[in-house]
Structure 1
């Protein structure tokens, strides 16, 4: 090994709706450390709203690309825990996904399709052959993620399944017309920004505005292009068109919610825009 090479174990990321009040997250980290204390564990977030699979889907979709190839992403937002929903591990180009088969990974897989997938049926890689009916994060997902990051082959973890059979959480696709793009709100962040499912590529290099809930919202590049307290549309750091209020909470002030429809419209060359 050259001096420039680093002997580093793969990363494991954690995402959940467990919050930081209880010990659930710490327990999962303890289980991972029991299997391999050399693994680096990164908390993506544990503040996903309870049982909000759509928010978890969006958050993981916008985080995975910022980690090294080979990273194991462990995600537990699991309202179906203890039911017949499958526990799965998935290999994709950037690494691996471990968690419930409830659509939580469908955002990632829409951008980087699955290479292979297994249902986690090999009890040898569970913490116990009799897992809790309410805490698969501790008893199944954390030990599997630790073993996977430590080099256990995916196929050894359980029964192979067709990636096509994985649950897809359908939030709808944006639709382009000759003069506009119609989409919906797919995520609301901590600041109350309303993130749509319209990618930045649709508005790049164009003059545009958004119509939503009876409002016409200017399409700009930075918050500072409008006054404090004014509504604005712009492309967020995640690469999606979003609605915001400069130094305010667009969700609470505008009463616009998940799945609400919005439309991006474009100015023609002959039109004069009073917007940004």
Structure 2
């Protein structure tokens, strides 16, 4: 096991919750290196928490322990679980769908149920609303430091029995590429889809080509336009929309130096679908 512990929550940084999680980890072992993935997950948004894990986990060394706490069901009978991914990482999280994307795209090697009564911060038995500190950060630090083994956390849970959220698979059907708008590049308002670059390559679409982009919300058309498939944002004018390849080698839609999401009121999740198809290249003649 490595010495890295990476934390993700919807707590924000306006109070001491995240600092308390750091403190508990360092109480377990001063050698654990605690880092933050993000604490700005929208409150209770399990879908975004799941996606951010998928976006980030594989870029850390094998053996890194992740703790993800977006937990609207804290104190209920929802399970606390730890999983070892096929990539060799550990994730501790509520069993509420937070592993959906990692399970689907990376795969899980083993899942275990954490005993919330026995495996918790000493003297925290009467607290039932801060499992992020008392169970997840505590056990995450014990794993990262080598104090306990993964197998010591609890009983095995078949991976097919964990809670998952519905996903929409991207498709390439009769030259129409269809997928979902999974998440935003938050600060810049770009749309990240689940349509892989490989689909465009199958269609012979290259940088500089024009694409017809259509966006639907619950089946209703919200947006349609012809956009350039650009190598980078600098390939189009400021304020001009474009299609590009994001850091996960999937297709994104953006506006150069503006927020596509804000401008066109586009959201994320499986109810938001996008279609791409190759369009004739538009050439403007000089007057």
- TM-score normalised per structure 1: 0.90
Q: Are positions 1:158 and 2:161 aligned together?
A: no
Alpha-carbon distance in 2 for matches of 1:19, 1:122: 24
1:32 is aligned, of 5, 9, 25, to: 25
Deviation at 1:215, TM superposition (A): 2.5
Deviation at 1:233, TM superposition (A): 1.2
Consecutive unaligned residues in structure 2, runs of 5 or more = 216-222
Alpha-carbon distance in 2 for matches of 1:126, 1:156: 13
Deviation at 1:9, TM superposition (A): 4.5
Mapping 1:97-116, distance limit 5 Å: 97-116=91-110
C-alpha contact 1:52 1:77 (8 A) present in aligned 2: yes
Q: Residues 219-275 of structure 1: CA distance to partner in whole angstroms, max 9, x if unpaired? A: 2211111110111111112222111110001111011111322101135xxxx5238
Alpha-carbon distance in 2 for matches of 1:274, 1:96: 49
1:239 is aligned, of 249, 253, 270, to: 249
Mapping 1:193-272, distance limit 5 Å: 193-204=190-201, 206-207=205-206, 209=211, 210-212=213-215, 213-258=223-268, 259-266=271-278, 272=280
Aligned Cα root-mean-square deviation (Å): 1.8
Deviates more, 1:177-186 or 1:151-160: 151-160
C-alpha contact 1:233 1:243 (8 A) present in aligned 2: yes
Q: Are positions 1:146 and 2:141 aligned together?
A: yes
Mapping 1:9-158, distance limit 5 Å: 9-92=2-85, 93-121=87-115, 123-128=117-122, 130=125, 132-151=127-146, 152-158=148-154
Matched position secondary structure for 2:195? strand
C-alpha contact 2:180 2:193 (8 A) present in aligned 1: yes
- TM-score normalised per structure 2: 0.86
Deviation at 1:177, TM superposition (A): 0.2
Deviates more, 1:65-74 or 1:173-182: 173-182
Alpha-carbon distance in 1 for matches of 2:64, 2:126: 25
> Aligned residues, how many?
264
Matched position secondary structure for 1:190? coil
Deviation at 1:79, TM superposition (A): 1.1
Q: Residues 88-126 of structure 1: CA distance to partner in whole angstroms, max 9, x if unpaired? A: 001123211101011111211222211111111164431
